[in-house]
Amino acid sequence: MDRQQVVLHMNPGMGDNSYANNSIIQNKVMRKAKPIVEESIVRLYTIIPIRCFKVADLGCSSGPNALQLVSNVIDIVDCSSSNLNLKPPVFQFFLNDLFGNDFNSIFKSLPQFLESLEENKGHKFDPCFINATPGTFYRRLFPNDSLHFVHSSFSLHWLSQAPKELVNKKNIHLTSTSPPAMHRAYREQFQKDFKVFLKLRSQEVVGGGGMVLTLFGRDKTCDIRTAWTIIGTILNDMVLEVHTQVYYINSFFLCIFLFC
Ligand SMILES: C[S@@+](CC[C@H](N)C(=O)[O-])C[C@H]1O[C@@H](n2cnc3c(N)ncnc32)[C@H](O)[C@@H]1O
Report yes or no on 122 lying in a domain: yes
Q: Is the CB of 155 under 6 A from ligand 1?
A: yes
Is the C-beta atom of 138 inside 6 A of ligand 1?
yes
CATH code of the domain covering residue 54: 3.40.50.150
Kindly list the distances between the CA atom of residue 18 and the CA atoms of 26, 90, 118, in Å, as whole numbers in the listed order: 14, 32, 28
Question: Lowest-confidence range among 1-15, 31-45, 58-72?
Answer: 1-15
How does the average pLDDT of the chain come out, rounded? Answer: 87
Question: 217 falls in which pLDDT band (50, 70, 90)?
Answer: confident
User: Does residue 249 lie within any of the structural domains?
Assistant: no
ipTM associated with this complex: 0.98
Q: How many domains does the chain have?
A: 1
**CB neighbour class for 42 (10 Å; exposed up to 12, middle 13-18, buried from 19):** middle
Q: Is residue 234 part of a domain?
A: no
Please tell me the distance from the alpha carbon of residue 73 to that of residue 71, in angstroms, as a whole number. 6
Summarised one tens digit per residue, pLDDT across range 10-33 is 888 888 888 888 878 899 999 999
Ligand 1, atom 24: closest residue by C-alpha: 59
Whether 259 is in a domain gets the answer no
Residue 159: which residues within 8 A CB-CB, separation 6 or more? Answer: 186, 189, 190, 193, 255, 256, 257
In a domain, 141, yes or no: yes
Distance of CA 66 to the CA centre of its chain: 9
**Any domain includes 182:** no
Residue 178 scores a pLDDT above 90: no
CA distance 69 to 76: 10
C-beta 9 within 6 A of ligand 1: yes
- Whether 69 is covered by a domain: the verdict is yes
- Domain enclosing residue 123, as ranges: 3-157+196-218
User: Which of 94-98, 164-168, 181-185, 256-260 bottoms out in mean pLDDT, i.e. has the lowest?
Assistant: 164-168
Confidence (pLDDT) at 35: 96
Does 236 fall in a domain? Answer: no
Q: Which atom belonging to ligand 1 lies closest to the Cα atom of 160? A: 19
Ligand 1 pocket test, candidate residues 97, 141, 153, 216, most atoms within 8 A of CB: 97
Q: How many CB atoms lie within 10 A of CB 172?
A: 20
Q: pLDDT tens across 98-123, in order?
A: 999 999 999 999 999 999 988 887 76
